[in-house]
Amino acid sequence: VGSLGYLLGSIAVYVSNQRLGEARAAIMERNLSPSDFDLMDADGNGEVSEAEFVEFMLVAMQKVDTDLLHKLHEQFRALDKDGSGTLDGKDLQLLVKERERRKNRRSDMESMSILHRTSKLVLDLL
């Protein structure tokens, strides 16, 4: 019974992969329509950038889903500290400074907590 289940599962995976491969090939071979162009033009500027084309094709071929793309864009924007639309040394410097500030704030908070506990202990002794 276990072997039969494994065999049927393997066949289902094979058929599914074949269909997915055929769908991907059809997407790569088809001509783009005006509606495809509109879908690709994610920022609505009337032009399709290389990034927009690649993202559209990856989603169409089911290589990635739109949630993953949105998360990657959010991550990029979080790293793009100066808001220039590119990552460079300035972004890295700003990121390092931000991390140092957070680390210092945590250290300050820990120091304040120690000071608070110590002062409470002293007051309890009085």
Judge whether 2 lies within some domain: no
In angstroms, the Cα distances linking 35 to 20, 26, 31, 38, 119 are 23, 17, 11, 5, 70
Q: How confident is the model at residue 72, as a pLDDT?
A: 94
Instruction: Enumerate long-range contacts of 33-37, CB under 8 Å, 24 or more apart.
Output: none
Residue type, 58: L
| Ordered per-residue pLDDT tens for the chain, 126 residues | 567 777 777 777 777 667 766 666 666 666 778 888 899 999 999 999 999 999 998 898 888 999 999 999 999 999 898 899 998 999 889 888 888 888 877 776 777 777 777 766 666 666
Residues 6 or more apart in contact with residue 59 via CB below 8 angstroms:
65, 66, 69
User: Taking Cα atoms as reference points, which of 59, 28, 55, 27 lies closest to residue 42?
Assistant: 55
Does this model's pTM top 0.75? My answer is no
Judge whether 119 lies within some domain: yes
Q: How confident is the model at residue 117, as a pLDDT?
A: 73
Judge whether 113 lies within some domain: yes
95 is in which domain, residue-wise? 88-126
User: How high does pLDDT run on average in the chain?
Assistant: 81
Judge whether 17 lies within some domain: no
Give the count of domains, the chain.
1
Judge whether 57 lies within some domain: no
Q: How confident is the model at residue 24, as a pLDDT?
A: 61
Scanning the structure block, which residue is given the tokens 């059809």?
26
Q: How confident is the model at residue 26, as a pLDDT?
A: 60
**What end-to-end distance do the CA atoms of the chain give, in Å?**
78
Q: How confident is the model at residue 74, as a pLDDT?
A: 94
Torsion, Cα 55 65 37 74, to 10 degrees, reads -60
